[in-house]
Structure 1
Amino acid sequence: MTRGSQSIAARIGPWSRTRTVQMHLAPLAVGVLAGVLAAQVRLHLGMPGHKALFWMVPVLGARLICRSRLGTTLGAAGASGASMLLGGNLAGGPTMAFLVVLAGGLLDAAAAWGERLRLPAWLLVPLLGLAGLAANLLCMVKRLFSPSYEPHVVLGLTGLAAVIMSYALFGLIGGLGGALIGCLIRKKS
């Protein structure tokens, strides 16, 4: 038989489909667990946007480890769905849940762009940190539709400026943390 004949392709086909399903299910499962964590754990930081640490770090790390193109989007959907089912407020309620999924899509796009360019880890991690910042600012849009009456002070700023700064800070930390974990574990395997 020659290389690439149909008999070889038929034997490889089911394995690759199984691998693809596993590649996408792993970030989804991590997202569901992150949503459960976000719904049940309270940090009492008093700073808006800190729940990005619960969902963004593990979901982005799982996306990079599994090399799933839609991993962060699926994980973000799982996290927001699980959080809402358990009474959490990760996504800002059912009407704003799509923002977390869009944020996951933004992170997927940045990760895919970095992988397509074959960026080394020392460039991919800051890129995904900035993408995390932008993704969490996208999640901040829900604050514009449901204003909070709690005064926030972040780095001497108050009001909307404090909310923007807090979301940006936690998004940057979440993106950097998830990218660092994903790159380190992927490098070891």
Structure 2
Amino acid sequence: MEEDKAPLLAATLVSEELFSGWGVRTLGLSCRGYNPVSYHNGSIWPHDNILTVWGLRKYGFMDEAQKILAALLDASSFFDYRLPELFVGMERQEHNFPVKYPTSCSPQAWAAGATLLFIRSLLGLEPNLPQGKLILAPVLPSGITSLRLEGVPMGSSRLSLEVRDGKVKLLKAPPRLEIVLEEKS
């Protein structure tokens, strides 16, 4: 992407046009064919949202990434913390819950897999095992004060860590792995 277009894209993704309050829709409110109950023309797909968060974070748009992460986390509480394939793209102020899509699969492979990138996005986790480095830049959404991971495979070893109030505590780290803590960007 051309760098000068990134701020406009980030703003558009979290604007009322695309952001429902539960996540980013597949089609904007003013687009011809928009229908929040349509499979592809206005619904919310958690895996697309997580990929969006990852991209926003990569470009340094932390506020926008956090807004989407927090919305998905809120939505997940209505699905027993197992995000479905998709859900309806209605406005959050219309309903105080995300509306289930009638034929959405749950569990569903890419929605379940999105959870891993969700956690990586929260932690800013960038493993580079060939170079022996692990970069962490955690930013938890408002209202979440801690996150703990245990036994995450990292090469031939395991990683366990806790983030509490913005501070990282390594509980177990692979030998000869340099942990690089980056400041919030």
Structure of higher CA gyration radius: 1
**TM-score, length-normalised on structure 2?**
0.29
Return the structure number with greater strand share.
2
**TM-score w.r.t. structure 1 length?**
0.29
More helix by share: 1
